Structure 1
Amino acid sequence: MSKRAYNFNAGPAALPLEVLERAQAEFVDFRESGMSIMEMSHRSDIYESVHNEAQNRLLGLLGNPSGYKVLFVQGGASTQFAMIPMNFAQEGKQANYVKTGSWANKAIKEAKLLGQVHIAASTEQEQYMRVPELSELQLSEQPAYLHMTSNETIEGTQFKQFPDTGSVPLICDMSSDILSRPFDLNAFSMVYAGAQKNLGPSGVTVLLVREEIIESSPSHLPTMLRYDTHSGNNSLYNTPPSFGIYMINEVLKWIEEHGGLQGVEAMNRKKAALIYNAIDSSEGFYRGCVAAGSRSDMNVTFRLGSEELEKAFAKASEQEGFIGLKGHRSVGGMRASIYNAVPYESCKALVEFMHDFKAKNQ
């Protein structure tokens, strides 16, 4: 291919070129089976070896913490918004949530359908342009769990630290920044993420769940909405999204090859600093949306002087091969999603375009 697009889509998002090329080479005949992995039974030895390898590789990147299961489920992170309170919001206790923006609000909406909800902290009055300080968190008297959204894709905010919740289970939606940096899985009872931003293609949701809380799945829930169903059957109770899981395994290999989580974190910080510096040094032509201490390293949001200028920026960028720079329709503005697989060269090209656009439109 002579030229790939500068892909800044928020999700589904960029995948590593090396991974795509490997998948292309194996697409028709996987491991000399005479079949694509998409064609073979999920009960076959070949597929199960890939399935288990992806689970082990993910835990390996996180330091092989004990007591956790990796689950692959379908329905996106949005289904988890309901499954979490279904499984963990015990009667007489409150589901605690940190209200940080669009995705946290969707999780809260589902939880309110299923039980008592307590907002432990919120930055709604500030239009979610920062995340709360950990000192602002106020749990209810009888918390069932605390739910956080580590990175708000739409607003462009990100938690840099996580609280110590003691005996209260900490559950985190990491859909848009999982494996973008090291983190201590032992601090969490559950981490979940849609794959389509940093892990692989859409269609798979990855869960890292402490085994002891899986056992509390209520028996009255429908079978597919219980975590113990998926855990007890190695995520093979029903037909899994096998090609997506294969792709996740390949992306995890790619992360290993690029220095693990420390390596990708260094590159992600370098990419983010490049674009934020272009914004901050533009003398007000570009304006960052988010408070400096809450800026996301995954989703860089910014505004220009008017909506007309933003439309011109979006149109001109598309003509130059930049894809996905329009902000979410709910907030407007511009957004560059710079997940793990977005090359530094794409970010450098964007900054050069921003300088050129400013020079032509001041």
Structure 2
Amino acid sequence: MGTRLPLTSVVRNLPEMVPFVGPETFERRQGRALRVRLGANESVFGISPVAAEAMSAAAAKAWMYNDPEAYDLTEALAQAHGVPQTHVQVGAGIDELLGLLVRVFADVGEPVVMSDGSYPTFAYHVVGHGARLVGVDYQNGHVDLAAMADRARTEQARLVYMANPDNPMGSWCAARQIEHFVDAVGEDCIVILDEAYADFAPTEAIVPVLPLRPNLVRTRTFSKAHGMAGARVGYLLADPSIVEILGRVRNQFGVNRIAQAGALASLSDAGFVHRVVESVTVGRQQLSALAERLGLSCLPSATNFVNIDVGDGERARQILQQLLERDIFVRMPSKPPGDRCIRVTIGHAEDHEILIDALAEILNGLPG
């Protein structure tokens, strides 16, 4: 049918945008495998052996539909956070949950506020549902909570998004600042607090779960410290009224049987997650030291990635392209101050060495 497809008015007016071009796409384009894969903030440290065993056992029962309520996993998450099960909703990664929240709280044409340049998949959901994206500039690489609150009130927004720690900046806000922000936007505005990187953050960055705030929705993931990015498991903590309404619109079989089994087992292996966090901390220090050897610095980070400051945006783009030509996959943020950086996921020591050697070679060939 081509251009005569009976599209909705929202879809007809969508810009051409892809939230995430995967490393596999680059491999297909170049016709060869990547040497170093440090651009998607995956965990190179893998998954818990306990989770791997549970997933293998669950695979034998893949002929059965999964539990649409993910009851066992939801109950375990509720116990882990000290809340009733009615406050927890599981989804196929944070991305699915973000899409549902936009669908529920942002009508066509309505404003949704976020930091300009923050997690692009959320922006993708907002635009895809026909809502109006309102971006607020970062302030020195940090989420500008005061400006976000002012803009939310001015726009009378019903939905605001922030990530803490932030992606792609790596910076973080103190819990007390976030609590003040949630109060400042008003009880009629839902605040999505994306805590995908919470396992790597300092204690003072994490808002206490209790007391629960009725307009705060917190999202967490098994993709980072748990190493289960390919399994697609995330969850949120929210008021029961929000969880109930999401239950009406969610994909009833969204989190598959194998993923549920793996997440439940990984949740029980706190020692593994602790070791991953320690490895990431060491890796951040190592990568920063290697960057300093080249006269470069890294922006402060409380995540499993660092932003290496290379001076300016054009230079960063050239470096990014030349690294890809050398089969090294990293990324760069789109907004200041991150747009003068290359964003590198923490990997193994040998990954870092390959990256830094290539970066040194590239820098020697660039003017200035």
Give the TM interval when normalised to the shorter protein: 0.5 to 0.7
1:327 aligned residue: 331
Give 1:158-307 correspondences, 5 Å limit.
Answer: 158-161=171-174, 163-164=178-179, 165-166=182-183, 167=187, 168-175=189-196, 177-181=197-201, 183=206, 184-185=208-209, 186=212, 189-192=216-219, 195-199=222-226, 200-202=228-230, 204-214=232-242, 217=245, 227-229=246-248, 237-238=252-253, 240-254=255-269, 256-258=270-272, 265=277, 267-279=279-291, 281-282=292-293, 284=295, 286-288=296-298, 292=299, 295-302=301-308
Distance 1:67 1:28 in 2: 27
Shift of 1:241: 1.2
**2:179 is aligned with 1:135:** no
Cα pair distance change 1:94/1:239, threshold 3 Å: closer
Choose the corresponding residue for 2:82, options 61, 64, 70. Answer: 64
Report deviation, 1:10. 0.9
CA shift, 1:244, in A, is 1.6
CA distance in 2, matches of 1:216, 1:23: 29
Task: Report what 1:224 is aligned to.
Answer: none
Counterpart amino acid of residue 238 in structure 1: F
d(CA) in 2 for partners of 1:196, 1:18: 10
Q: CA deviation at 1:195?
A: 4.5
Q: Which has the higher helix share?
A: 2
- 2:38 alignment partner, one of 2, 5, 8: 8
- Give 1:349's aligned amino acid: E
Native 8 Å contact 1:100 1:149 kept in 2? no
Q: Determine the C-alpha separation between the residues in 1 that align with 2:360 and 2:333.
A: 27
- Please give the per-residue CA displacement for 1:95-142, whole angstroms capped at 9, x wherever unaligned: 43333435254344246x14x6654x323xx8xx72333333323154
SS state at 1:14 partner: coil
CA contact (8 A) 2:305 2:344 kept: yes
TM-aligned CA deviation for residue 282 of structure 1: 2.6
1:320-346, Cα deviation, whole Å (9 max, x unpaired): xxxx543259779743213xxx5xxx1
Distance 1:16 1:267, change over 3 A: closer
- For 2:74 and 2:244, how far apart are their aligned partners in 1? 22
Q: How many residue pairs align between the two structures?
A: 301
Output the TM-score relative to the length of structure 1: 0.63
For the residues of structure 1 that align with 2:243 and 2:229, how far apart are their CA atoms? 30
Percent identity between the two aligned chains: 10
Contact 1:73–1:205 (8 Å) recurs in 2: yes
Partner amino acid for 1:144? R
Query: Structure 2, unaligned stretches of length 5 or more?
Result: 1-34
After superposition, the C-alpha distances for 1:176-234 in whole angstroms (9 at most, x for unaligned) are x24334533346722235654444243534231323432773xxxxxxxxx0337xxxx
Cross-structure match for 2:124: 106
Residue 22 of structure 1 and its aligned partner are, at CA, apart by 4.3
TM-score by length of structure 2 reads 0.62
Unaligned runs of 5+ in 1: 218-226, 319-323
Secondary structure in 2 matching 1:247: helix
Name the CA distance, whole Å, in 1 between partners of 2:358 and 2:243: 56
Q: Give the Cα–Cα distance (whole angstroms) in 1 for the partners of residues 320 and 112 of structure 2.
A: 40
2:194/2:220 contact within 8 Å kept:
yes
| Distance in structure 1 (CA, Å) of the matches to 2:222 and 2:276 | 17
Contact 1:300 1:335 in 2 (8 A): yes
RMSD between superposed Cα atoms in Å: 4.4
